[in-house]
Amino acid sequence: AQKITQTQPGMFVQEKEAVTLDCTYDTSDPSYGLFWYKQPSSGEMIFLIYQGSYDQQNATEGRYSLNFQKARKSANLVISASQLGDSAMYFCAMWEAGGSYIPTFGRGTSLIVHP
């Protein structure tokens, strides 16, 4: 079974609108971290935001926020006020504290921002 599931292969959003990219995860480890990365067409992987399993507040970084619902095991990325430069692949990842040193990545969601 996949540990990280991103159910939206592709998403479209109008410039300046908000968009939510879904991520659900599966773990029995009480200690884990959830990460989101952006991969533009140029190919590099850019770290966006982190949420720890014990964090009480949802993480925010500028226009990025993470909607963390622990009981539902979801960690959705919210991008507010979308910009054309947000068009990219987005990957959700999880690193379990008690597991191996191998973070798990989802298959990614392609986001296209329309002008």
Partner 1 sequence: EAQVTQNPRYLITVTGKKLTVTCSQNMNHEYMSWYRQDPGLGLRQIYYSMNVEVTDKGDVPEGYKVSRKEKRNFPLILESPSPNQTSLYFCASSSAGGPHSSYNSPLHFGNGTRLTVT
DSSP-derived pairing of the beta strands 24-25 and 4-5:
antiparallel
Cβ proximity to partner 1: between 2 and 14 the closer is 2
Cβ proximity to partner 1: between 100 and 115 the closer is 100
Binding site for partner 1 (CB under 8 A): 31-33, 35, 37, 43-47, 50, 52-53, 91, 93, 95-98, 101-103, 105-108
CA distance 51 to 19: 19
Cβ proximity to partner 1: between 64 and 105 the closer is 105
Shortest spacing between CB 93 and partner 1, in angstroms? 8
Name the residue type at position 35. F
Shortest spacing between CB 67 and partner 1, in angstroms? 19
Closest CA to 88 of 39, 36, 42, 46: 39
Residue tagged 């949420």 (tokens): 51
Shortest spacing between CB 66 and partner 1, in angstroms? 13
Neighbours of 43 (CB within 10 A): 7
